[in-house]
Amino acid sequence: MTDVQQTISPVDGQVYVERKLATQNQIDLALTQAVSAQKAWQLLSVNQRAEICTNAVDIFVSQQDDIAWEITWQMGRPIQYAGGEVAGFEERARHMISVAEEALSPVILPEKEGFTRYIKKEALGIVLIIAPWNFPLLTAINSIMPALMAGNSVLLKHSAQTPLCAERLVNAFTEAGLPEGVFQYLHMSHQDTEYLIKADQVAHVAFTGSVPGGASVEKAAAGRFIGMGLELGGKDPAYVREDADLDSAVATVIDGAFFNSGQSCCGIERIYVHEAVYDDFLEKAVALVKTYRLGRPDDPTTTLGPLVKAGAADFVRQQINDAIAQGALAHIDPSEFPMDQAGTPYLAPQLLTNVDHSMRVMTEESFGPVVGVQKVRSDDEAIGLMNDSEFGLTAAIFTQDVEAGIELGERVQTGTFFINRCDYLDPGLAWTGIKNSGRGCTLSVLGYDALTRPKSFHIKQP
């Protein structure tokens, strides 16, 4: 087993970052430091912790341009969009700081003669956060900020594709005055990550990644009776009703499908369109997809970058080819996107019609720049198809009748339901999924619940 981790940039296939993996002694030392530092950290007031965390956000955001370039070279997002992740990071981080006092306040029970009763929310101890590469800052901060604000210490294991994100995050908090040992990163092998999950000192694991990855985390933690948050992806649907604002719907769902080259757990991967507007929708959607510019992400004119690696692009190509072999119609000619080359991470966008749920591309997570568009005859048919999935992260309906949309939304099996938008996390709302999209909750005041434990005080007055 190698003791060096290499990050191969999808931009040019070259090694961009090389880091030594943590040794067993370094991992054990990190645990020891985290335990010791957390005891003092949790004794600070929420306001004291907020001051340090706010300073850390200020420091991190001031480095936006450098961070954007690092994201582009590590995972391939076009540079014109990469800085937006820092802005999203800031929005989520500041919101979670702002609601901490409310979320962490004791629950005071109604007065009962002769008794005082309340429930405190205490820190868990050490929180292990395992973060992915596709949105390396946004996914990580969802758990980092509430974990720290609740008084926990944090160990961050970032994807081997985006190690610089972990280093940037920890360095910003250290510069802001966070006590040593409260927030640390570790570059680790899968085997050592499992070792850390099994460690007695770890009280909670927050994982974002694939379904098999989530199953591995659960298996490693089996029998430990610790908390766990699993955000595992999706096959998110959108339904365009016959009364929808068509121009807005097309612009929104196509962006939701192809932003970040489709590498988003909450991106739109299947679209259902009412037959009354299907032809118009398809004409507008195809025209919009053809305007994308596939190219090197360090080129500021590029709007569609490479996938994270050639194997990911090969997977999506196979999904597309299988669907076409089953009768799907491809509306985009890959030859119009010269950077599209088999065996590379560069893949042309694709929009498929004449699709159904017998095809992998409509049921299996693609995580790439492809979307299937299926015609439906009614709301009931659309809802049935939207729910016909092993996933349930987000779902969107486009309609000018908001009340009707809400009624339909009550029937959709999903963690977040949108009307007239998609592919966005409002930090004031709970971020959660059902089915194979995982379990647990981040963001909002509810995001603090999993990162604290209730402690009841039942006091009889003398």
Cβ-proximal residues to 257 (8 Å cutoff; 6+ apart), any chain: 267, 268, 269, 271, 369, 371
Tokens of 249: 């719907």
Handedness of CA 263, 265, 266, 269 (dihedral sign): positive
* ∠ CA 12-15-21, rounded to 5°: 150
Asked if residues 131 and 208 have their Cβ atoms less than 8 Å apart, the reply is yes
Tokens of 381: 């048919």
Give me the DSSP letters along 206-252.
Answer: EEES-HHHHHHHHHHHTTS--EEEEE----EEEEE-TTS-HHHHHHH
The catalytic residue among 231, 365, 422, 441 is 231
242 is catalytic: no
Query: Cα 435 to chain center, whole Å?
Result: 16
231 is catalytic: yes
CB atoms closer than 10 angstroms to residue 230: 22
Selection from 238, 276, 233, 461 nearest residue 368 by Cα? 233
Asked if residues 103 and 129 have their Cβ atoms less than 8 Å apart, the reply is no
Selection from 53, 26, 4, 230 nearest residue 128 by Cα? 230
Tokens of 139: 């996914």
* ∠ CA 233-8-366, rounded to 5°: 25
The catalytic residue among 165, 265, 266, 422 is 265
Helix, strand, coil percent values for the chain (each to nearest 5): 40, 25, 35
Catalytic positions, written as ranges: 231, 265
